[in-house]
């Protein structure tokens, strides 16, 4: 019996055949971040943060679709609030993501999607570091190296097939 992920339809679209992790544990989605009075006040600047109750940044990446399942990275617990570090004054972002299984072949792709989402969504002044949560993937080092390499990332996005998958991950889910 194949797990629920396969029959939902509409999800990913990478390769065919059986899913690597057919029946993942599913986590609750956090709601929309509530708007505070300060945010409606024109005078008060809101910093780009990760620490406030519902962070701005996780908010950006949590809704990225998993390439394999019809679920978001948040629902699969691939990204979590505690693993996102932001410093607005220093213009740095660090995101650690946790593949659902240690041999997940999608790890590079997920990392790439997060990286692209950040590139598209954050001001240019930010320096971005996307890496695997230490100790959660077999080829952690190799994946991290690829993700840190600007030229490789740029080259990957020249690849139509890869760009297609990344765009699918970033498209708003209906």
The sign of the CA dihedral 80, 115, 32, 164 is negative
Stretch that binds other proteins, among 53-61, 78-86, 101-109, 131-139 (CB under 8 A): 53-61
Measure the CA–CA gap between 19 and 45, rounded to whole angstroms.
Answer: 45
Per-residue mark of binding to other proteins, 128-157 (x: CB under 8 A): ------------------------------
Measure the CA–CA gap between 74 and 27, rounded to whole angstroms.
Answer: 7
Measure the CA–CA gap between 43 and 155, rounded to whole angstroms.
Answer: 42
Tokens of 162: 């890869």
Q: Which of residues 74-113 bind other proteins (CB under 8 A)?
A: none
Largest interatomic CA distance in the chain: 58
- For tokens 């057919």, the residue is 22
Measure the CA–CA gap between 147 and 152, rounded to whole angstroms.
Answer: 8
* Residue with smaller CB distance to other proteins, 138 or 171: 171
Q: Closest distance between other proteins and the C-beta of residue 27, in Å? A: 9
Stretch that binds other proteins, among 21-29, 78-86, 101-109, 148-156 (CB under 8 A): 21-29
Q: Which of 19, 48, 94, 148 binds other proteins (CB under 8 A)?
A: 48
Which residues here bind other proteins, judged by CB under 8 A? Answer: 1-9, 23, 25-26, 35, 39-40, 42, 45-46, 48, 56, 59-60, 69-71, 117, 120-125, 160-161, 163-168, 170-171
């Amino acid at each position: 019996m194949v797990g629920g992920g396969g029959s939902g339809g509409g999800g990913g679209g990478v390769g065919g055949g059986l899913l690597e992790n057919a029946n993942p544990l599913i986590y609750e989605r956090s709601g929309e971040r509530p708007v505070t009075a300060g945010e409606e006040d024109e005078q008060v600047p809101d910093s780009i943060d990760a620490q406030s109750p519902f962070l701005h940044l996780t908010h950006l990446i949590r809704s990225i679709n998993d390439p394999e399942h019809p679920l978001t990275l948040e629902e699969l617990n691939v990204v979590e609030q505690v693993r996102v570090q932001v410093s607005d004054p220093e213009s740095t972002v660090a995101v650690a993501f946790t593949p659902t299984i240690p041999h997940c072949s999608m790890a590079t792709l997920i990392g790439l999607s997060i990286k692209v989402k950040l590139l598209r969504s954050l001001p240019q002044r930010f320096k971005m570091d996307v890496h695997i949560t230490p100790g959660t993937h077999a080829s952690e080092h190799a994946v991290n190296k690829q993700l840190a390499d600007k030229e490789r990332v740029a080259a990957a996005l020249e690849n139509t097939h890869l760009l297609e998958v990344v765009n699918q991950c970033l498209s708003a889910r209906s």
